[in-house]
């Protein structure tokens, strides 16, 4: 069994315009002082990384690694959630998702998709330049607006939707394959890949492409009321990335899974800082370790109550406490473990 690596942190929610969150250098210095050992880089934030430049220049990637390594940290993965989202956008969401696109692609869905596809391909090359073998992203969503079937979905809609989603992703997946990098889709409400069934449908639509894998984040399963422990039993072979994020679900007579269009703090399902929610991380770390999942434990901080600074300070020791030092011996080794064939035959009556 492999020991889970960590603690690490996804920088996306912490990057800002004020020190120490405004440069990669100062972010790394701050997180290293809190006990983190790795950082996950958001591909859309040029304060941290220019993904186009990273695809063009290994020297540039080495410079970024040098900054990170100088604080005793490692680059764990690159993540492209915003660009991945734009690979597949239903027209119902065009205006809202235009905010993720550069100005020259706004109000032009075709150009926006082409830009997103190229961004993902650049992420594949950049990951290779960093010496990374996994990459995190979103699938995008063509069908999410039909998630609750009213009016009834026409026959063939879901099949056509996954066929089109696979068509858009296959050239990207092939580029990742050429660069020896797995694509790990964060299974997430709002995405076409939001549970086990949808992951299986997409995997099948891509011809079981070997680069289709999973970024496991239990918080999104809590909000869906999905069994996040049994999920590991089903899909552990595909789990190549791990976001450590907490959540809770407290339904009432007024609100449930759908949230009533309320702000996060008023919803039944809401994200919490590590240790403040309901996720059974002890069992999660045990299962991932048991199944030999070779992953970094990366804190993705989101909380509707606690400050990010406090969440970050509490996050590193929380993760460290849950990482299991894998045993190299059986608990009953003391009883003797030498092989004596004659003794075995006697026991079996042979």
Q: For position 332, what pLDDT does the model report?
A: 61
Residue 29 has pLDDT above 60, yes or no: yes
Average pLDDT in the 266-288 region? 98
Average pLDDT in the 91-113 region? 97
Average pLDDT in the 177-203 region? 98
Q: For position 320, what pLDDT does the model report?
A: 98
Q: For position 329, what pLDDT does the model report?
A: 74
**Pair 296, 77: CB distance under 8 Å:** yes
Average pLDDT in the 64-84 region? 98
Quote the percentage of the chain above a pLDDT of 70. 98
**pLDDT tens sequence across 280-335:** 999 999 999 999 999 999 999 999 999 999 999 999 999 999 999 998 876 666 55
Residue 337 has pLDDT above 70, yes or no: no
Q: How confident is the model at residue 75 (pLDDT cuts 50, 70, 90)?
A: very high
Strand partners, 74: 38
Secondary structure (H, E, C), 62-121? HHHHHHHHCCCCEEEEEECHHHHHCCCECHHHHHHHHHHCCHHHCCCHHHHHHHHHHHHH
Q: For position 25, what pLDDT does the model report?
A: 98
Residue 338 has pLDDT above 90, yes or no: no
**Alpha-carbon gap, residue 285 to 7, rounded angstroms:** 12
**Alpha-carbon gap, residue 194 to 185, rounded angstroms:** 9
**pLDDT tens sequence across 38-48:** 999 999 999 99
Residue 83 has pLDDT above 90, yes or no: yes
Q: For position 23, what pLDDT does the model report?
A: 97
Q: What is the pTM of this model?
A: 0.95
How would DSSP label each residue in 234-294?
HHGGGEEEEEE-EEEE---SS--TTGGG--GGGSSEEEE-TTSS---HHHHHHHHHHTT--
Q: Longest Cα pair distance anywhere in the chain, in angstroms?
A: 81
- Give 291-294 contacts, CB < 8 A, sequence gap 24+: 291/232, 291/236, 291/237, 291/239, 292/1, 292/2, 293/2, 293/4, 293/236, 293/239, 293/240, 293/242, 294/2, 294/240
Question: Mean of the per-residue pLDDT values for the chain?
Answer: 96
Q: For position 333, what pLDDT does the model report?
A: 62
Average pLDDT in the 121-144 region? 98
Average pLDDT in the 218-239 region? 98
Q: What are phi and psi of 311, to 5 degrees?
A: -60, -40
Q: How confident is the model at residue 91 (pLDDT cuts 50, 70, 90)?
A: very high
**Alpha-carbon gap, residue 121 to 52, rounded angstroms:** 10
Residue 1 has pLDDT above 90, yes or no: no
Q: For position 330, what pLDDT does the model report?
A: 65
Structure tokens belonging to residue 320: 């460290």
Question: Helix (H, G, I), strand (E, B), or coil: what is residue 232?
Answer: helix
């Amino acid at each position: 069994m492999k020991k889970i690596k960590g603690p690490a942190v996804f920088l996306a929610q912490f990057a800002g315009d004020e020190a120490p969150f405004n440069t990669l250098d100062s972010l790394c210095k701050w997180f290293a002082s809190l006990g983190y050992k790795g950082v996950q880089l958001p591909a859309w934030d040029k304060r941290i990384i220019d993904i186009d430049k990273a695809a063009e220049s290994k020297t540039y990637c080495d410079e970024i690694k040098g900054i990170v390594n100088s604080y005793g940290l490692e680059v764990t993965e690159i993540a492209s959630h915003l660009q991945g989202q734009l690979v597949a956008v239903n027209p119902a969401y065009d205006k809202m998702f235009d905010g993720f696109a550069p100005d020259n692609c706004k109000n032009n869905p075709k150009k926006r998709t082409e830009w997103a596809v190229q961004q993902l391909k650049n992420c594949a090359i950049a990951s290779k330049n960093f010496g990374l073998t996994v990459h995190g992203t979103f699938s995008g969503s063509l069908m999410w607006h039909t998630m609750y079937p009213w009016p009834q979905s026409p026959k063939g809609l879901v099949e056509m939707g996954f066929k089109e989603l696979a068509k858009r992703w296959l050239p990207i997946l092939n580029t990742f394959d050429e660069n020896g990098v797995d694509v790990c889709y964060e299974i997430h409400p709002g995405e076409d890949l939001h549970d086990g069934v949808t992951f299986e449908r997409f995997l099948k639509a891509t011809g079981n492409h070997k680069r289709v894998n999973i970024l496991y984040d239990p918080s999104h399963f809590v909000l869906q009321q999905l069994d996040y422990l049994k999920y590991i039993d089903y899909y552990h072979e595909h789990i190549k990335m791990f976001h450590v994020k907490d959540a809770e679900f407290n339904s009432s007579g007024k609100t449930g899974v759908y949230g009533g269009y309320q702000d996060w703090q008023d919803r039944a399902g809401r994200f919490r800082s590590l240790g403040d929610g309901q996720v059974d991380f002890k069992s999660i770390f045990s299962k991932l370790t048991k199944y030999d999942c070779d992953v970094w434990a990366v804190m993705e901080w989101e909380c509707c109550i606690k400050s990010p600074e406090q969440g970050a300070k509490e996050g590193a020791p929380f993760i460290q406490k849950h990482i299991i030092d894998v045993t190299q011996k059986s608990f009953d080794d003391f009883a003797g473990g030498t092989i004596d064939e004659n003794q075995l035959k006697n026991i079996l009556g042979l």
